[in-house]
């Protein structure tokens, strides 16, 4: 008898709690819960800071209609799996995981929570509820190449790369294409920092470049350290991910700014309208966003510390990319050993960009590994 009563009682309790859940989730104006996972802290003034600015745009745009939770400093591994799962458990409806290494953890958790939407930033694996987002960073690097080619006096460009992966290599090659379009004598030397964020190592690499005679520096790492060294030594450089002119008012020529806000807002809006989806098919291609200058995901800051004619050339390159007049990887493309990659009249497609493991003409040395 007691057992029976207990059962009835728990049934009632259960139905009440279900009722409350239904009411609370259909109640008009209940905020959409959005989760963000950061690799470092916004204090990096680079990659994660750019995501933080995007998050702030989300909060500004939606106000009380969203509730945002953030976890920073999450290492790429089991901790990420745990944190993402926890965010899903706490009722977040869409979760942005903002580093490449969160790919497998995101997919793993997504399988357990089929009703939660996941947006993985810079990955290539998608599923029914995992979409991916990335920025065509290389477009900004082409413009950097143009400016560097016109500004350099020593014809030596120092480039600091994080890791020799396709994303970084396509950036170096885009830079080389821009450089070649204005200055055939200049060449790029690359130092690999083997880290995305380590101000000390980045500064050391910048010092080596300057000691070897480079007068324009570029980076594919996250901290402002390189620009600070450039500022001290009278060299020039480009800001990464965010506007870094505060760190190097005299050295920053311009910055390529990652503008995640519009992408976040678009995806959250889709979710709220019930339109979020990654399509069918094995690759879920519709779930992939790879936007650049045209779609406002990559923003070029104002051209500074350069003569008017250089700024004008830079503006032309920017406009060319925006209108599609400039195709950065149009043939003929020849790698730096003389091998033809693609003949005139053709151009590399997105798939070929992700397979890049060679340097184009204008870059010294060879890709490690």
Partner 1 sequence: MITFIPRDKVSKNWIIIAPILSIVFTIFFGLLIFTFLGYNPLETLYQIFVSPFSRIDRISDILVKACPLIIIGTGLMLCFKSNVWNIGAEGQFIMGALLAGFIALSFPNIETKFFLLITILAGFVGGALWAFIPAILKTKLNVNEILVSLMLVYVAMLFIDFIVRGPLRDPMSFGFPLSKPYPDGALINKIPFPGIGFLGQLHYGILFVLLLIPVSWIFVNKTLGGFKINVLGSAPQAAKFAGFKQNSITITVLLLSGGLAGVAGVIEVSANIGQLQPEVSFGYGFTAIIVAFLGRLTPVGILFAGIIIATVKLGADNAQMTMGIPKVVTGLFEGILLFFLLTGETLQKYKIKWSEGKK
Q: Enumerate binding residues for partner 1 (CB under 8 A).
A: 41, 69-79, 81-83, 85-87, 90, 100-101, 104, 124, 163-167, 169, 194, 354-357, 368-369
Nearest-angstrom CA–CA distance, 200 and 206: 10
Q: Between 20 and 354, name the residue whose CB sits nearer to partner 1.
A: 354
Q: Between 89 and 250, name the residue whose CB sits nearer to partner 1.
A: 89
Q: How is residue 115 written in tokens?
A: 């009703």
Smallest distance from the beta carbon of 121 to partner 1, in angstroms?
14
Smallest distance from the beta carbon of 276 to partner 1, in angstroms?
23
Q: Between 104 and 270, name the residue whose CB sits nearer to partner 1.
A: 104
Phi, psi of 258 (to 5 degrees): -80, 120
Smallest distance from the beta carbon of 308 to partner 1, in angstroms?
40
DSSP 8-state assignment for residue 305: S
Alpha helices in 159-236 (DSSP H): 166-182, 199-211, 225-233
Taking residue 16's Cβ as centre, other Cβ atoms within 10 Å add up to 10
Smallest distance from the beta carbon of 235 to partner 1, in angstroms?
29
Smallest distance from the beta carbon of 233 to partner 1, in angstroms?
29
Q: Between 82 and 325, name the residue whose CB sits nearer to partner 1.
A: 82
Smallest distance from the beta carbon of 137 to partner 1, in angstroms?
15
Which residue, chain included where needed, has tokens 């950097």? 144
Q: Which helix (H) or strand (E) holds 122?
A: none
Q: Between 338 and 369, name the residue whose CB sits nearer to partner 1.
A: 369
Q: Between 100 and 142, name the residue whose CB sits nearer to partner 1.
A: 100
Smallest distance from the beta carbon of 77 to partner 1, in angstroms?
6
Task: Say if residue 324 is exposed, middle or buried (CB neighbours under 10 Å; 0-12, 13-18, 19+).
Answer: exposed
Smallest distance from the beta carbon of 62 to partner 1, in angstroms?
17
Nearest-angstrom CA–CA distance, 137 and 298: 7
Q: Between 105 and 149, name the residue whose CB sits nearer to partner 1.
A: 105
How are the residues of the chain apportioned to helix, strand and coil, as percentages rounded to the nearest 5?
45, 20, 35
Smallest distance from the beta carbon of 36 to partner 1, in angstroms?
10
Phi-psi region of 331 (alpha: psi -120 to 50; beta: other; left: phi over 0): beta
Q: Between 311 and 353, name the residue whose CB sits nearer to partner 1.
A: 353
Smallest distance from the beta carbon of 254 to partner 1, in angstroms?
28
Classify the C-alpha dihedral 337-343-345-349 as positive or negative.
Answer: negative
Q: How is residue 298 written in tokens?
A: 């990559």
Taking residue 113's Cβ as centre, other Cβ atoms within 10 Å add up to 17
Q: Between 85 and 128, name the residue whose CB sits nearer to partner 1.
A: 85
Q: Between 122 and 252, name the residue whose CB sits nearer to partner 1.
A: 122
Which residue, chain included where needed, has tokens 């760190």? 247
Nearest-angstrom CA–CA distance, 14 and 308: 71
DSSP 8-state assignment for residue 163: S
Nearest-angstrom CA–CA distance, 344 and 23: 63
Classify the C-alpha dihedral 84-87-89-94 as positive or negative.
Answer: negative
3-state secondary structure at position 19? helix
């Amino acid at each position: 008898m007691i057992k029976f009563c207990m059962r009835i009682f728990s049934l009632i309790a259960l139905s009440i709690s279900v009722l409350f859940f239904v009411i609370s989730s259909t109640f008009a104006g209940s905020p959409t819960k959005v989760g963000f996972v950061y690799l470092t802290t916004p204090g990096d003034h680079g990659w994660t800071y750019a995501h933080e600015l995007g998050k702030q745009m989300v909060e500004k745009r939606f106000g009380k209609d969203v509730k945002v939770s953030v976890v920073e400093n999450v290492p790429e591994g089991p901790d990420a799996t745990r944190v993402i799962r926890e965010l899903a458990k706490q009722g977040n409806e869409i979760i942005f995981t903002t580093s490449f290494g969160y790919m497998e953890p995101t997919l793993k958790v997504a399988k357990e929570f089929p009703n939660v939407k996941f947006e993985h930033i810079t990955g290539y694996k998608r599923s029914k509820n995992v979409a991916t987002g990335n920025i065509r960073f290389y477009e900004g690097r082409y413009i950097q190449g143009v400016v560097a080619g016109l500004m350099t006096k020593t014809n030596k460009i120092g480039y600091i790369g994080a890791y020799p992966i396709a994303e970084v290599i396509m950036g170096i090659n885009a830079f080389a294409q821009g450089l070649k379009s204005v200055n055939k004598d200049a060449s790029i030397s690359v130092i690999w920092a083997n880290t995305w964020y380590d101000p000390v190592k980045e500064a050391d690499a910048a010092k080596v470049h300057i000691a070897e005679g480079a007068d324009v520096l570029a980076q594919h790492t996250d901290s402002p350290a390189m620009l600070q060294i450039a500022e001290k030594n009278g060299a020039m450089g480009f800001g990464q991910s965010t506007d870094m002119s505060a760190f190097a008012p005299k050295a920053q020529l311009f910055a390529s700014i990652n503008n995640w806000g519009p992408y976040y807002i678009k995806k959250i809006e889709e979710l709220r309208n019930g339109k979020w989806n990654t399509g069918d098919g094995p690759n879920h291609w519709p779930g992939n966003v790879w936007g650049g200058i045209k779609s406002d995901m990559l923003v070029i800051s104002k051209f500074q510390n350069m003569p008017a004619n250089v700024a004008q050339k830079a503006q032309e390159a920017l406009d060319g990319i925006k209108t599609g007049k400039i195709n950065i990887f149009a043939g003929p493309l020849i790698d730096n050993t003389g091998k033809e990659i693609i003949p005139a009249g053709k151009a590399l497609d997105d798939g070929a960009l992700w397979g890049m493991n060679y340097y184009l003409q204008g870059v010294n040395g060879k890709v490690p590994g």
